[in-house]
Amino acid sequence: MERLDQQMRFVAEIGKLKSVLRQTMLAVPGRRENSAEHSWHLAMMAVVLAEHAPSGTDIGRVIAMVLVHDLVEIDAGDLFLYADDAQQARQEEAERAAADRIFALLPPDQAASLRALWDEFEERRTREARFARGLDRLQPMLANLEAGGGTWREHGITADLVLAKVRLIEEGSESLGRYARDLVAQAVRAGLLAPAAPDWAG
């Protein structure tokens, strides 16, 4: 029974992801999104948008990857996408320490396989990881559009900064990358996203 007890301790521990708040604002209800419901939304996107992944992509693996990708935030918290390099580096270190602790709650074979999934997502070398990372970039863009600008307006993010992030979506899926570029143009036209800051403003 020890093995099942370890699995259940992990199941209980990961429930804490429901209290990790992201930057993303939800239009309905008016509050920040938590990382557990975000992960569910990504898994549903993987199911529904599977045909936009490069042929041969193992969607089951993409789904498992997006389900576990944010578990490290239980210890490390969520970092805003546009944080500076020093903050990103500190975050990466905190996330690795969190992965060491959290996955080790599981029996060793499962700890290793879930950790490998998380590493794969982070390293972005396989087509599964690139597709999963693309979904993770696209979902907050959809949320910002729904929320009338959301974190873009809140933090004064401009279209050129968003387009730099869209590259990661394109690497995961050609058609979703195109869709994301169109979304940016649409958000600029609708006044939800400021166009690029002029050179003299930098």
Pairing mode, strands 21-26 and 31-34: antiparallel
Q: For residue 46, what are the contacts with CB-CB under 8 A and spacing of at least 6? A: 59, 62, 63, 66, 131, 132, 135
- Determine, following the binding rule CB under 8 A, whether residue 19 of this chain makes contact with its own copies: yes
Query: Using the rule CB under 8 A, which residue among 45, 81, 159, 169 binds its own copies?
Result: 45
CB of 105 to its own copies, least distance (A): 10
> Which of 200, 197, 140, 190 has the alpha carbon at shortest distance from 168?
140
- Determine, following the binding rule CB under 8 A, whether residue 192 of this chain makes contact with its own copies: no
CB of 88 to its own copies, least distance (A): 25
Query: Using the rule CB under 8 A, which residue among 54, 60, 108, 148 binds its own copies?
Result: 60
**Of 14 and 196, CB closest to its own copies:** 14
Q: Checking phi first, is residue 57 left (phi over 0); if not, alpha (psi -120 to 50) or beta? A: beta
- Determine, following the binding rule CB under 8 A, whether residue 47 of this chain makes contact with its own copies: yes
> Nearest 5°: CA angle at 95, between 154 and 170?
60
**Of 142 and 194, CB closest to its own copies:** 142
Query: Taking a C-beta distance cutoff of 8 angstroms, is the pair 184, 162 a contact?
Result: yes
Compute the Cα dihedral for 38, 41, 47, 48 and give only its sign. negative
Query: Using the rule CB under 8 A, which residue among 79, 82, 92, 110 binds its own copies?
Result: 110
90: its two tokens = 């500190």
**Of 51 and 154, CB closest to its own copies:** 51
Binding site for its own copies (CB under 8 A): 1, 4, 7-8, 10-12, 14-19, 26, 28-29, 33-34, 36-37, 39-41, 43-45, 47-49, 52, 60, 63-64, 67-68, 106, 110, 114, 142-143, 146, 175, 179
